[in-house]
Chain A
Amino acid sequence: MDRNIVLAYLWQEVINLGFSPSGNRDQKSWVHQYAKSLRNFWEIDEYSSNPKGESGVLKGRVDSPVNLSFDFVISAKDKFSVQFLSTPIRERGNGLMWNHDVDGNIFNFPVQPFLTLHNQGNIVLRSNLLQESDIEVIVDGLLCHTRAHQHIVLPIDDHEIRIGGGIDNAFLFLFHLRYQLCPIPEKREKEKQRLVQLFLNAIKNKNNIPINTLMAQPVVS
């Protein structure tokens, strides 16, 4: 089978496993545990303030000591906004850097319908076609080094921070920020390895990934 077709199914499967909490309760739990995980992952002094959920809309604010903060508002998995701020706010100018807006009502290439139509998912996911290197490519493309990205000039190793401009899944976008805004190279490397193993094992064993497992910390020796 064409490698790209295999990767396409794996791509969607990784998104389904990690970044598609369904229902209000799961989504609340996802953002709650996400906010909780940042403190240890970034090795900072304190937790982010707890996200809020009102009338099905999830809101949160995250401050990062790389002088970049963001607020998120999620109405649906594919309808959300993340507002980036330079912090602390400079005297002149309001500190807003840019807004990452996603509106699922606007047409985009319908990936999932095409894959469903092609009907190769079961073959890919259960066969020995599954390779660790494929999952690594997926994790890179989704989280660690997305195809389209913006670099941010920061005093700490500016080139390593790549904000994916094309991500249209709210939870995937937040999770990639967890990775990207961590300036610790050792942590990033181990996290990538952890995620590859996590998704590989889940797909191989047909397991779900509990939210707290997704949000766990990599072990840096």
Chain B
Amino acid sequence: MKRNRFGINLDEGISLQTEWEFENLYVSYHDDTYRKLILWLKEQSEPLQFGGQIGSGKSSVILKSFKDSDVAPDIILHFDQEGLNLSSGDFLQIILTGFCEFALNNDVDLSSYSLPQEVADLSRDDWEGFLGKLSSDDFSLDAYKKKLEISRQLADNAEYYKKVIKSIGDTIQKTIDHPLLIFASGIDKYDTECAAYFSLQRIIATLLPYKTLFEVNAVHLFHTSKELSPIEKLFLPSMTVEKTEEIINKRMGIYAAAVKNELAVLSKWSGGNPRQAIRLLTYFETARKNRTNNFLDCILFAVRSTTRDFFAFSSKPSFEIMRYVNQNEKIDATEFILPGDKDTARRALYGNWFFITGTTQDTRWPVKTNPLVRGAFDEKIKPEEPEAKALRIYAEQSDVSSTGLSFPRTSDNGEKESGEKLKDFLSRNIEHPLPSNLSEVLDTMAAALLSKNRPDRVIIAFKDSSVVEAARAYLFAKANSYEYQRCSHALIAGGENMSPLQDFLEHLQEDTDIYSIQFGDSWTKDQLQSFDKLRDHLTQYQMIWWIEHDKLTEYLQEWTQLRQLFEVFILDDELLGSLSIEELEGDLEFFKDLVDDETGPEANVVRNLKVVLEYLQTVKGGENG
């Protein structure tokens, strides 16, 4: 991603990668945890589970630790990116690929193994061909079937192949002069309740003899299988809000000074979660473009939109557990392992309904309700809650009021306002998020949609399928306003006997800039869950997903991870409400004059605007008639 050296750098909270990013955007926190991680990398040889909640910055911390310690993993296994159906065969395939690749690149003698012949019907020593079959990027039906076949074969003989993996690992270990370091990434994407996680746990146990860094979610640290439970655990709690304030200040670059007070308020709503802080900032910046907004409106827009993205239509944890967290700000580790607990503590932790704010020497962990969802559980928003207090003080100091919202007042101010409206405001975004018209959707998407430099992803839920084509044409037209961008659309069907993940990955092979995907028919739960694991794989793509409104709840409830990197909109039915024929004609006239070349961006704008205009004229004609 292209970064601004002095100015604003926003994204959807993806992990930092480059030297420049670590130097300019990274904020160090929990130094003790970080020191332990570095020490482990440099001096220890036992496996380690490194865990944190969604968006807590785990991946950035891990990548930074590799740089700072000057210790790079020998093998990186992506359990969230390379599987096709999340079976034990897939997981074995991922590990085998990683081990064999390392062995081949480092001249490790594999002559005593006959995997190419056994698994892929190749000659015994055709390791290159074997790897080609295992990790093929070819999305032909033949290649896909071959991969599935290999996966089935590995699964059917799982115990044998686990032994093979162990043997290859030991052979590698003997030929290198340091403990074999494996980075098992993406385990954090697996909900402890999903079937795939059970298979995954059994397979990754084959990595225990090596110095393996398991990247896990906080919930995995509390809920592990017998095999994984003895492994040392290192936990990355949420940040202080001061640290998230530092992060969003860095993201604003030289412009931070212009919104210093507002950034301080936003950070309070982050709950100490860096990704949540960045999402709030992104929406705050979007809201600033609307000139009828004052700054308080902008903050509220950011809170409302971030809540919608992360929590709307999700399955809520129980009221009891959230009230307990709210009142006690401590939770006992046993809460996470109680049988029948899946609807409460684990779900709440996995879904970021509350944050673990520190570490503990005993079993009582310090926790805090996520400020964005407090309204859904609190009977009354307390005036002393930091985020509510910050909003109230800000409103008083700025001499602004907003959208009929009342803030909880402290009793010494003598006040009548109870904060009920603030509570309603917060809870409404989870149960019934407000729909957006197409112009509002475009305003929010514009930063990414109009430029190739920043690939963001959005989900647009529609109620009336007849508007989808025109809405899509409108967004495609706008996408070409300044840069030439190719847009490609596909309908992907789910359901029994369908392979939507394969179809989807095949669509991503197209050489285009914006991938528009409409989800058709009924997807199975397994198919939806398999998409959830793709989160990090999608960060490089600019995407618009179209989903029927009626299906949205069903989909989003399975996409706890995925929705972290998506903005979610509910599209108003009525395009005429936000697009005027006169305005479109004006745009068309402007761009027609600029068309030099039928393959240029301006020609793309004109073509797509004509589709929208035709649609609107038909609808309007229908209305008049």
Contact = CB atoms under 8 A, between A and B. Distances in A.
Interface size class of A (residues with CB under 8 A): 35 or more
B1 to A, nearest CB: 12
A53 B258 contact: no
Interface stretch (B2-10, B490-498, B548-556): B2-10
Nearest to B478: A50
A65 B6 contact: no
Contacts of B69: none
Interface in A83-115: 85, 87-92, 95
Nearest to B3: A43
Interface stretch (A10-18, A25-33, A196-204): A25-33
B573 interface: no
Contacts of A42: 7
Contacts of B259: 65, 67
A2 interface: no
Contacts of A25: 593-594
B5 A51 contact: no
Nearest to B253: A43
Nearest to A87: B291
B7 to A, nearest CB: 2
A46 B446 contact: yes
Interface string A59-80: 0000101110100000000000
Interface in B230-252: 252
B76 to A, nearest CB: 31
Interface in B581-625: 586-587, 589-590, 593-594
A45 B251 CA distance: 10
B442 to A, nearest CB: 10
A156 interface: yes
A65 B288 contact: yes
B586 A91 contact: no
A50 B587 contact: yes
Given A90-B294, A156-B254, A53 B593 contact: yes
Interface-central residue, B4, B8, B255, B298, by most chain A CB under 10 Å = B255
A183 interface: yes
Q: Which of the listed residues B7, B287, B594 has the most CB atoms from chain A within 10 Å of its own CB?
A: B7
A209 interface: no
B514 to A, nearest CB: 15
B5 A89 contact: no
A214 to B, nearest CB: 16
Given A43-B4, A88-B293, A155 B590 contact: no
B447 A28 contact: no
A39 B452 CA distance: 13
B6 A32 contact: no
A13 B258 CA distance: 38
A86 to B, nearest CB: 10
B481 A50 contact: yes
Interface range, B side: 35 or more
B589 A54 contact: yes
Interface string B398-413: 1111000000000000
B400 A45 contact: no
Interface string A179-197: 0000110110000000000
A13 B92 CA distance: 72
Most central of B10, B257, B260, B482 by chain A CB within 10 Å: B482
A66 B290 CA distance: 15
B285 interface: yes
Contacts of A85: 291
Nearest to A50: B481
Contact of A44 (B8, B290, B401, B482): B8
Contact of A43 (B6, B257, B450, B586): B6
A88 B294 contact: yes
A36 B400 contact: no
B291 A220 contact: no
Contacts of B288: 63, 65, 87-88
Contact of B6 (A28, A88, A184): A184
Given A63-B288, A63-B289, A184-B254, A89 B294 contact: yes
Contact of B590 (A28, A47, A69, A95): A28
Nearest to B289: A63
B292 interface: yes
B326 interface: no
A24 B292 contact: no
A148 interface: no
A45 B8 contact: yes
A69 B258 CA distance: 13
B6 A89 contact: no
Contacts of A51: 590
A66 B400 CA distance: 20
B295 interface: yes
A77 B482 CA distance: 24
B482 A47 contact: yes
Nearest to A28: B593
A28 to B, nearest CB: 6
A30 to B, nearest CB: 11
B82 interface: no
A83 B355 CA distance: 46
Contact of B260 (A28, A29, A155, A186): A155
Contacts of B482: 35-36, 39, 47, 50
A151 to B, nearest CB: 16
B391 to A, nearest CB: 15
Contacts of B447: 45-46
A65 B255 contact: yes
B451 interface: yes
A154 B259 CA distance: 11
A209 to B, nearest CB: 18
A69 B8 contact: no
A52 interface: yes
B397 to A, nearest CB: 12
Nearest to B447: A46
Contacts of A87: 288, 291
A44 B6 CA distance: 9
A187 B593 contact: no
Contacts of A65: 8, 252, 255, 258-259, 285, 288
A81 B401 CA distance: 32
Contact of B5 (A39, A43, A91): A43
B4 A50 contact: no
Contacts of A186: 6
B440 interface: no
Contacts of B258: 65-67, 154-156
A45 B285 contact: yes
Nearest to A184: B6
Nearest to B445: A46
A184 B590 CA distance: 32
Contact of B254 (A53, A54, A69, A183): A183
A42 B604 CA distance: 27
29 contacts: A28-B593, A43-B5, A43-B254, A44-B4, A44-B7, A44-B8, A45-B454, A46-B446, A47-B481, A50-B481, A50-B482, A50-B587, A51-B590, A52-B587, A53-B586, A53-B593, A63-B289, A65-B8, A88-B295, A89-B292, A89-B293, A90-B294, A154-B258, A155-B258, A155-B260, A156-B257, A183-B255, A184-B254, A220-B5
6 smallest CB-CB distances across A and B, nearest first, come from A43-B7, A46-B447, A43-B4, A91-B400, A65-B255, A155-B257
Interface of B: 4-8, 10, 252-255, 257-260, 285, 287-295, 297-298, 398-401, 446-447, 450-451, 454, 481-482, 586-587, 589-590, 593-594
Given A47-B451, A87-B291, A91-B294, 7 more contacts: A39-B451, A43-B4, A43-B5, A53-B586, A53-B589, A88-B294, A155-B258
